[in-house]
Amino acid sequence: MSRVSDGEILKRGSRTATALLDVSRQEFAELRSVRDAENRAAREVAEFIRADLAIALANQPPPQVTWQK
């Protein structure tokens, strides 16, 4: 994540998540289990990213706003 005004990098990183799944003898059940595990891992990574961005933005000074009539 970088600041638009000056291009300074505020946050850089990567995240991974692991989701367990059940392996079945039935093909459809196994495909569904894989898809559900991918969705759970994606939601978990999204939450990590959301938290990282919130922390990075909280550490920044508030922007200077000038009001004009």
For the cut 90, the answer to whether the pLDDT of residue 65 exceeds it is no
Could you give the percent of the chain with pLDDT greater than 90? 59
For the cut 90, the answer to whether the pLDDT of residue 63 exceeds it is no
Whole-model pTM?
0.72
Q: Scanning the structure block, which residue is given the tokens 């909280």?
A: 58
- Identify the bridge partners of residue 2 per DSSP, sorted by sequence position: 9
Q: What is the dihedral of CA 47, 49, 54, 60, to 10 degrees?
A: 170
Q: Scanning the structure block, which residue is given the tokens 């039935």?
A: 26
For the cut 80, the answer to whether the pLDDT of residue 32 exceeds it is yes
Q: What is the DSSP string of 32-66?
A: HHHHHHHHHHHHHHHHHHHHHHHHHHHTSPPPP--
| Structure confidence at residue 35 (pLDDT) | 95
For residue 26, give the DSSP letter: S
Domain ranges of the chain: 1-62
More confident residue, 62 or 58: 58
